[in-house]
Structure 1
Amino acid sequence: MAKAKSSSPKKSRPKKSGPKKSESSAPDANLLGDLMKWAKAAGADAADALYVNGESISVAQRMGAREKLESSEGRDLGLRVFVGQRQAFVSSTDFAPASLRILAQRAVDMARAVPEDPVCGIAPEELLATKWPDLDLYEKKRPTTKSLLALAAEAEDAARSVRGVTNSEGAEASWGRTSFVLAASNGFSGAYRRSGYSLSCAVLAGEGTAMERDYEWSSAIHFDDLMAAARIGRNAGKFAVRRLNPRKAQSARVPVVYDRRVSSGLIGHLAGAINGRAVARGTSFLKDKMGAKVFADGIRILDNPLRKRGLGSRPFDAEGLSTRRYAVIDDGVLTTWLLDLAAARQLGLKPTGHAARGTSGPPSPTTSNFYLENGEATVDELISDIKSGLFITDMIGFGVNGVTGDYSRGASGFWIEKGKLAWPVSGITVAGNLKGMFLNMTPANDLQFKGSTNAPTVRIEGMTVAGS
């Protein structure tokens, strides 16, 4: 495997206003096809190319004053070539035909010089996507800088108006859109566009050494799906104030409840453990659990790349394969790995259409819209029988061993007494092993889609809490 990069400077500069611009557009329809021909003429047996073109605006306000205003535009093209069982990658922002001819020749020369990779190779034609649905991933409207600044101001003003809030880390609003075009010498050609908004706010409550920080955020493909700015601000303020005057918890083995703000991290650990590359390398704690019960009865975890307006949605994967909805965990049983072509070949399985890639490297498996389905209980019902336990609202550190499943992370939140949230706690550590944690997990019914990986509030029995 080899890679190189050739570039001309991308445009990236602060702007004082947001003039309307033309939409991001794909290159000439024949350009990627020509690039495939030039790669073949240079000696490649096969090739594929990914084109990415994007623009973004980001603004921020802190303590009532504008703090940041940035705008960027850029485009990039990545070429992958195969010579026998060897591959190489090159990328460039110079789109002149003469430059791309040189790029193709350079890629082939690099591929001839690297060791063979027995699992590399382009997709066979019978696996290629030939049609795909409209997933509503693009909003044509381009916001003005002024409108984004107004969103950030509304969010921060709402947060600072909450009684007890004494300082602010600011509010930030951003927008972007990106075009993707993938073409390959096996005949695949596909393109789609994606837009997105995000808004966040973080503030502090209290005074001196007794200050506490918290936040709220929202992301969406379409502006209409974004959480209201005032609500984001109020939530950030309320979350910070309720954390004031925390106590230390006594070390104990108790039920632990993960608020939906942090429970997605647990599902993210599962995603890493069922990544086909990790399984093929033998570095996953679930490497021998295919077809086995790894969660409690009734638990379903889905990966759905075809969810309309989903933050992780994609109509085809980065190797041109069709995407589809998978019940990765069905009634507690592990049903599949996440596989790109290389991982599938290593494991002797069929690819699952989970390949993702940038312009300067190979594809690798990843999730799309990955989420734990709702349970039946409300959050109040989930904690109602806990005599003593922990409700986590924030976590720090990444003490997770992907090979063994051992888990230890810093946390803060609220102590549970007699089925109610009693007082805030901080400076504690929660520990266990993900194998046992998954088997003892119970979800609530408050699933909310805020990112590409989501989960409702969950309860896990018998975790170790280390406090004072």
Structure 2
Amino acid sequence: MSGAIAATPAVADKQTRERISALVEFVLAEAKKSGASAAEAGANVNQGLSVTVRLSEVETVEHTRDKGMGVTVYFGNRSGSASTTDFSADALRESVRAACTIAKYTAEDDCAGLADPGRLAKDFPDLDLHHPWNPGVDRAIELARTAETSAREFDARIANSEGASLSTHEGLEVYGNTHGFLGTVAATRHSLSVSVIAQSDSGMQRDYWYSSARAARSLDAPETVGREAGRRSVRRLDSRQLSTRECPVLYEAPVASSLLSHFIGAVRGSSLYRRASFLLDHLGKPVFADFVRIHEQPHLKGAAGSAAFDSEGVATRARDIVRKGILQGYVLDSYSARKLKMNTTGNAGGVHNLAITPGPDALDLAGLLQRMHTGLLVTELIGFGVNTVTGDYSRGAAGFWVENGEIQYPVEEITIAGNLRDIFLRIREVGGDVDTRGNIRSGSILIERMTVAGN
């Protein structure tokens, strides 16, 4: 994206990193002085700019700058937590005192405590996460306005706009504990989005598009974002309903990642030790079609989910969660691992660049449509009718009906349903059109058969 990158703001410069790190160490020392057997503390400082333009007029300009400190203390198996946004010494001491007081009244929990010292990160590679950008308000407005104008000019049927937004974010996070761990992460995230409304004799349809990246230079041009938002809105005009049927369903890449989110929810430690997952006791068993590989890539340069350590300081590592369709491991933090009598997988705070590997043919969307031949292409999901205890799945959807490998017409007001056990096993293809904008990276996913409920 065009636009000069300004000097690094003060939120994550060397001086600020040292100051925030010293505050975390101060809190840990205060916790030890108060008699805590162990403690952990995390601080964050964030700043950003967000502008929104609608119909070429500026609607909002928001500068943000905030900070916070959280501390958890342990007295044996009792724990207490407190937080503050005041970084003065007195306020930090008071937060420690509050956490200690809370700990006196909590029940003992044998699984509570810091991560095991041997699992804490010792190497901190440069993951290329920090690219500050300060375009200034005028430039930010110009970029948002350009994106919206490109969307509105895409087609005469673009009748209205929900606006375009540009945002920049820079954050510094510092985590430390009384095992001697202290880690800092400076990271940025910038985005540009547009949402417009198309209209025809049959009614109105809206759609949107966005670009997101660690570095401003990696954002799509505003004209590109705008044109895609316009194209996606116009193609939904004159939507129809479908009759109820069973057919193949192709999830477009931006919505296919939701299937992986449901999978992770079912293999997360908190779901497993509560015995509230349809994948309970499935370790070592087939849960996906036999060609499927799902893995974490925490050390990808500049990616959305990259991290050298998790929110407990545990070192992250690349690993397969599913290999050849078989479940290889769970998603655990230290607490859930102890509950399950297992070891943490370095996933306190979530997964890191979770990816499903494209199938052997790595087909693009056009190729997947040909492979499906006849069925439903889903481009939007509505609502959240997913039960991770039973695996039952039912979500509102919109998209396109496909015949002979070609899109025939848009469809809306339909529901796609099944059970996630069957859906995962019925994956027929994973496309090479991988959406890399988020922490879950997936191409389009073709399901052999699902129920589509319509009129």
TM-score when scaled to structure 1? 0.91
| Contact persistence 1:263–1:454 (CA under 8 A) | no
State how 1:119-158 maps to structure 2 within 5 Å. 119-158=111-150
1:337 maps to 2:323: no
Displacement after TM superposition at 1:348 (Å): 0.8
Displacement after TM superposition at 1:313 (Å): 1.2
| Contact persistence 1:19–1:144 (CA under 8 A) | no
Provide closer, same or farther for how the CA distance between residues 391 and 30 of structure 1 changes in structure 2, counting only shifts above 3 A: closer
Displacement after TM superposition at 1:95 (Å): 1.7
Provide closer, same or farther for how the CA distance between residues 124 and 21 of structure 1 changes in structure 2, counting only shifts above 3 A: closer
State how 1:221-370 maps to structure 2 within 5 Å. 221-356=214-349, 366-370=350-354
When structure 1 is superposed on structure 2, of 373-382 and 232-241 the one drifting more is 373-382
1:407 maps to 2:396: no
Q: What residue in structure 2 maps to residue 461 of structure 1?
A: 448
Q: What residue in structure 2 maps to residue 53 of structure 1?
A: 45
| 2:355 counterpart letter in structure 1 | Y
| 1:392 counterpart letter in structure 2 | V
| Contact persistence 2:8–2:133 (CA under 8 A) | no
Provide closer, same or farther for how the CA distance between residues 227 and 19 of structure 1 changes in structure 2, counting only shifts above 3 A: closer
Identity, % of aligned positions: 37
Q: What residue in structure 2 maps to residue 176 of structure 1?
A: 169
| Contact persistence 2:20–2:174 (CA under 8 A) | no
When structure 1 is superposed on structure 2, of 171-180 and 204-213 the one drifting more is 204-213
Displacement after TM superposition at 1:20 (Å): 8.5
Q: Distance in 1 between matches of 2:374 and 2:426?
A: 17
Provide closer, same or farther for how the CA distance between residues 411 and 29 of structure 1 changes in structure 2, counting only shifts above 3 A: closer
Displacement after TM superposition at 1:22 (Å): 2.7
Q: What secondary structure sits across from 2:217 in the alignment?
A: helix
Q: What secondary structure sits across from 2:255 in the alignment?
A: coil
Provide closer, same or farther for how the CA distance between residues 319 and 386 of structure 1 changes in structure 2, counting only shifts above 3 A: closer
When structure 1 is superposed on structure 2, of 51-60 and 441-450 the one drifting more is 441-450
Q: What residue in structure 1 maps to residue 3 of structure 2?
A: none
When structure 1 is superposed on structure 2, of 339-348 and 386-395 the one drifting more is 386-395
How many residues are treated as equivalent by the alignment? 442
| Contact persistence 1:267–1:454 (CA under 8 A) | no
Displacement after TM superposition at 1:382 (Å): 2.2
Q: What residue in structure 2 maps to residue 23 of structure 1?
A: 11
Q: Distance in 1 between matches of 2:383 and 2:78?
A: 39
Q: Distance in 2 between matches of 1:381 and 1:30?
A: 55
1:432 maps to 2:418: yes
Q: What residue in structure 2 maps to residue 362 of structure 1?
A: none
Q: What secondary structure sits across from 2:135 in the alignment?
A: coil
1:450 maps to 2:437: yes
Post-superposition CA distance 1:60-90 (Å, at most 9, x none): 1111111110001011100100011011110
Provide closer, same or farther for how the CA distance between residues 28 and 214 of structure 1 changes in structure 2, counting only shifts above 3 A: closer
| Contact persistence 1:285–1:405 (CA under 8 A) | yes
When structure 1 is superposed on structure 2, of 221-230 and 81-90 the one drifting more is 221-230
When structure 1 is superposed on structure 2, of 95-104 and 75-84 the one drifting more is 95-104
The structure 2 residue matched to 1:41, chosen from 22, 27, 33, is 33
Q: What residue in structure 2 maps to residue 215 of structure 1?
A: 208
Q: What secondary structure sits across from 1:33 in the alignment?
A: helix
Displacement after TM superposition at 1:368 (Å): 1.8
Displacement after TM superposition at 1:123 (Å): 2.1
